[in-house]
Chain A
Amino acid sequence: MDFITILQLLDSSIRLATPLLLACLAGLFSERAGIFDIGLEGKMLAAAFFSAAIAFTSGSVWVGLLTGVAASVALSGLHGLASITFRGNQLISGVAINFLAAGMTVVIAQTWFSQGGRTPALTGDARFEEIVLPGAASRIRDIAQQSPLGQIYSELISGHSILVYISLLIVPLSWWVLYRTRFGLRLRAVGENPAAVDTAGISVVGLRYAAVIICGVLCGLAGAYLATGLSAGFVKDMSAGRGFIALAALIFAKWRPWHALGACFLFGFLDAAGNRFQNIELLTFLSLTFLLLAAVSAIMLVIRAIMLARGKDTARGLLTPGIALVVSVGLALGLDALDPEAGGIATYLNTFVLPVQFMQALPYILVVVILAGLVGKAIPPRAGGEPYVKER
């Protein structure tokens, strides 16, 4: 596998991870405040539709973005009404919102545009164009001609929609809000023990609505990115399960912003890899697998090293990821060096072509494996899912 392929893979990961990341952070705010939200999917879809529809009619993607966000916030408000004000079941409300968005978007689209639940294709200012940084190439074929550093610059750093950069900024921002502001402290508290917040004289209802609205805004960005950034228009059901994957990423990230970035990027990467490597031979597949393992071990090693430096870990903690790194790099290189034409085991292995379905399921399989193997128990915010009831 050559360098540019890896870059393209990472580049694709960034794009695919962005809607996940936004939706994941949306869920993070909501669930941190104790409101479970399986309606991320629906809100994303509604935002995708309204942003595309209004971007088309107004000709401005920014107006579209605002409308999309507003639509998502409206659904959030509905979720809040059901689960905060009327203390309904948060899961049911989420399910209802998913159905509602799936149906409504198409019904309205059909009424407005008569194109079978689609918006017309967006062009020009009605779309988020990729931002090409100074000196960067934009087209894949031009990038391939550049030097490695230039490739990194053009492929990875440059050439994304503004929403990608915004979403990357939202990660530290979320962290900062949650852990460094009064609002964040209260938000986290209300998800853990609303009674504590209530006795402290703070409005539980107010906080939870605020969280749900933030969730709506972020979901709105995610949906708008899908319809006006990644593609040029709305197609029915175009969220394609990403809301659920974002939810999985959220649990995977244990409800923490930086981890959410990691989880979403990993999911995006697995997705990109599944797209890129369909119909591959077993041998290539194995060497790729070990390469991925090596990457994961390297990350673990770095994390452990940082913890060691901070005095939160012993040197022994470095051992396992270290060994894993050496072994997997060795195996990956070894397998790569085997010549499939030379006969013997290599040729034998190479006769197996993995079915495309396997490669498409692989990201999901890997998520399960990683979850079971690397991540411990995920403990959700303690008051999550329970309406706060205070007799009056």
Chain B
Amino acid sequence: MTAPAIELKGISKAFGPVQANKDISLSVQKGAIHGIVGENGAGKSTLMSILYGFYKADKGEIWINGQQTSIPDSQAAIRAGIGMVHQHFKLVENFTVVENVILGAEDGAMLRPSISKARKVLLDLEQEYGLEVNPDAVIEDLSVGHQQRVEILKQLYREADILILDEPTGVLTPSEADQLFRILGRLKDEGKTIILITHKLREIMDVTDTVSVMRRGEMTATVKTAETSPAGLAELMVGRKVLLEVEKNAATPGEVVLDVKDLRVVDGTGVERLKSISFQIRAGEILGIAGVAGNGQSELLEVLGGMIPATSGSVTLHGQPIDITGRESDGQSRRRRGIGHVPEDRQVEGLIMPYEAWENVAFGYHHDPKYQAGILMNNSAIKADCAEKMERYDVRPPNPRLPARNFSGGNQQKIVVAREMDRHPDLLLVGQPTRGVDIGAIEFIHKQIIALRDAGKAVLLVSVELDEILGLSDRIAVMFDGVISGERLPEDTNEGDLGLLMAGVTERQGAA
């Protein structure tokens, strides 16, 4: 038997008082796909960053292909044949694909030869793995799925033998994810070793050969995938049994809460983002909006949430019109009207990262009378409110004085959810509520959304996770290219059917 491709021995790493990795050992065979799962903050990213030379371990050894290797920096990692696709992409946004690919792997001092060579290699890779991207496209114009392909292409271009992917599917649509896994399969066949970090147990079950579970900085188990089950893994991760299916009662829709008619949005560059959208949501109902990112869902949330004005159309809430094109088009007035909004991107929109938790709990509601003391803000009231919300929404650590950036992704999301749902809005707008969040937190957030529905509120759920859409929604609308390409009932459809609608095919293809 050949030496393992990667062997970690007794790796420890502390950030100040936080012990992110405790005496971790791991061994991955050549040509295997190895999964790592664990809650937010379990230390997965830290471990991989150590392997990639981004952090230096306090203790421990790294062995690559049977040789002890010191990896003081990323350059050493690259030399050792390691490539990493980070959780947050490391791409230069205003560079083209080919520029990003050659960055750091140029052939000489001049760019031209490198670029023309890279073009050729990209073409080969494209044919070999089906990784098609326009080499001259600028990164910021690409969808996240394509951006991720660029990340993978970067590593392949460097001829990495060991590929680390940190939560690669967090931002991908199901079909994009499927495609990614097909590619990973092909890479594996070529003898490349892959480490895959993900929160989605289904993916682990589908593609990995072996899987490790991390918990609070420790490696708690490593098992063969074939010998375990999602429920077993979940229990290992969280330390208790977790419901993987959403549990909910049948909906009892009431009167119409939100009525959207002929909504149109033309953006600053003249592109029509929403083309005459009309739909209704009733009280006690969750309308799920499925669709590939970039087909107008974000704009829909932004218009309803008051972040951008609509070009034309009408929106009424409980029969009362909302001014969507004029002066009232701002987040404050929407909140006053009883619309809560969990935005798609918690770090860029939903939270002010340097603000402490209590300040973030007031964010958007800072005009709320209960937060005021005369002309000043009543900070102690806000802190008290925050402590209470953290308690009820199980935010960890429950410390109102901690800046938002020091919470893990899941807990950041819980802060946003607590803020937006705790006021029992008549209408809740939710975008990607569980993106990059661990299964414990997903379960919790899903329960909250159902609870709000059961309290007779209307919910508009936008998600690229079809599981989530199918599990939570009472009705499903699919958006494609700025229009609603079809509506389904969850019990009346399946992923394949939705996938076609998402691709713009409107005829019904014999749903299950």
Contacts and interface: CB of A to CB of B under 8 A. Distances in A.
Q: Do the two chains touch directly in the complex (Cβ atoms below 8 Å apart)?
A: yes
Contacts of B95: 185, 188-189, 192
In the complex, which of the residues A182, A184, A201 has the most CB atoms of chain B within 10 Å of its own CB atom? A201
A34 to B, nearest CB: 12
Nearest to A190: B92
10 contacts: A180-B110, A181-B109, A185-B95, A185-B99, A185-B102, A186-B103, A189-B92, A197-B104, A198-B90, A200-B90
Interface of A: 179-186, 188-189, 192-193, 195-202, 382, 390-392
Is chain B's interface secondary structure helix, strand, loop, or mixed overall?
Answer: loop
B478 interface: no
Nearest to B75: A201
Interface string B101-113: 0111110111110
B77 interface: yes
A159 to B, nearest CB: 36
Interface stretch (B3-11, B49-57, B485-493): B49-57
Contacts of A182: 106, 108-111, 114
Given A186-B104, A200-B78, A202-B103, 13 more contacts: A184-B111, A188-B92, A192-B92, A193-B92, A196-B92, A196-B103, A198-B54, A198-B90, A200-B104, A201-B73, A201-B104, A391-B55, A392-B55
Nearest to A191: B92
B379 interface: no
Contacts of A186: 103-104
Chain B interface size, under 10 / 10 to 19 / 20 to 34 / 35 or more: 20 to 34
Contacts of B52: 199
B111 A193 contact: no
B74 A201 contact: yes
Contact of B86 (A189, A192, A199, A390): A199
Contacts of A192: 92-95
A108 to B, nearest CB: 39
Contact of B110 (A181, A197, A391): A181
Contact of B112 (A180, A189, A198): A180
B55 to A, nearest CB: 6
Q: Considering the complex of A and B, which 5 residue pairs feature the smallest CB-CB distances, nearest first?
A: A200-B104, A201-B75, A196-B90, A182-B106, A199-B90
Contacts of B212: none
Contacts of B315: none
A35 to B, nearest CB: 17
Contacts of B109: 181-183
B104 A193 contact: no
A200 B111 contact: no
B84 interface: yes
Nearest to A184: B111
B114 A193 contact: no
A197 B77 CA distance: 14
B100 interface: yes
